[in-house]
Amino acid sequence: MTEIDEMSVKQLKKDIFLTAYHGRTEHAHLASAFSLVEILYALYVKRVMKFKVSDPEWRDRDRLILSKGHGALALYSSMAMAGFFPMETLKKSFCHPGSPYGGEPHLHDLDGIEASTGSLGHGLSIGVGMALASKIDDVKNKVFVIIGDGESQEGTIWEAAMSAKNFQLDNLTVILDQNEVQEMGTVEEVSGISDWTEKWKSFGWEVIVVDGHNLDELSEILASKNNINTPRIVIAKTVKGNGVSLIERRSDWHYRMPNKKQLKTFQDKLNITDSELA
């Protein structure tokens, strides 16, 4: 990772926090956004995905669906950093009345959002439809779908997994943000499952496990081609709340904002000045 990338990733986390902090909400999915930062930075800012900011409807663009829609803060901030809209506007308007930046992304609110998500277990099915359409129309693009490990408790993830292999969608890549924590405990405690590799392999997918905070590894894998006729899952091992030890791997930080005392910790970890909070 270059020094610039390192600084930018830090900046992105800071932007995510400030967006939530100045948002018209008392809660935010900060920890779920922090586990996604490097993944979205690779796709949007390092431009692993091909897209045109000036023409968000460009037919041949790669598509990204954030199926775990509660990671919206990370998506918006990465899109802003990629130039879709000004970061300063985003930071002033999250969840404000009339703003396009809601707690979950909505297709018709914002150019560049490919699907409305929020209810878990939907995005992969939509992605299967998009990847099928690319095949039918011979569009040479990629469809990326980011899902969560908690989200993988939804049965439709597996309906979609089965169909993607059956349709031989080698233009489809799922990125599993395996942050291991959900609202009521660890994913293993809640569902009894912690190893995803064998499950996806048994559905006929190509499975690649990566460190979800290693930008170089992520960028290289996400830019490479799938095996022929095979959908791919990149299992990104991540830390929920990565970068702010106070909230790392903590289920009670799934959906909240810091109190005054905790705010200092965020300021220290993310290098946020008092004036930036004003």
Task: Summarize as ranges the residues that interact with another protein (CB under 8 A).
Answer: 106-108, 114-116, 118-119, 121-122, 124-134, 136-137, 139, 156, 159-160, 162-163, 166-167
Nearest-approach distance from CB 111 to another protein, in angstroms = 14
Angstrom distance (rounded) from CA 67 to CA 72:
10
CA–CA distances in Å: residue 213 to residues 137, 204, 219, 243? 35, 26, 11, 10
Q: Which of 116, 91, 110 is nearest to 28 (CA)?
A: 91
Nearest-approach distance from CB 251 to another protein, in angstroms = 25
Q: How many residues does the chain have?
A: 278
Nearest-approach distance from CB 116 to another protein, in angstroms = 5
Strand, coil or helix: 177: strand
Angstrom distance (rounded) from CA 125 to CA 243:
32
User: Considering beta carbons, is residue 109 or 189 the nearer one to another protein?
Assistant: 109
Nearest-approach distance from CB 163 to another protein, in angstroms = 6
Q: Which of 81, 100, 70 is nearest to 43 (CA)?
A: 81
| Token reading at 79 | 């899109």
Angstrom distance (rounded) from CA 267 to CA 18:
10
Nearest-approach distance from CB 243 to another protein, in angstroms = 31
User: Considering beta carbons, is residue 59 or 261 the nearer one to another protein?
Assistant: 59
User: Considering beta carbons, is residue 46 or 232 the nearer one to another protein?
Assistant: 232
Angstrom distance (rounded) from CA 240 to CA 34:
7
Nearest-approach distance from CB 28 to another protein, in angstroms = 22
Q: Name, in order, each residue with C-beta under 8 angstroms of 232's C-beta and a sequence gap of 6 or more.
A: 170, 172, 173, 174, 205, 206, 207, 208, 226
User: Considering beta carbons, is residue 51 or 266 the nearer one to another protein?
Assistant: 51
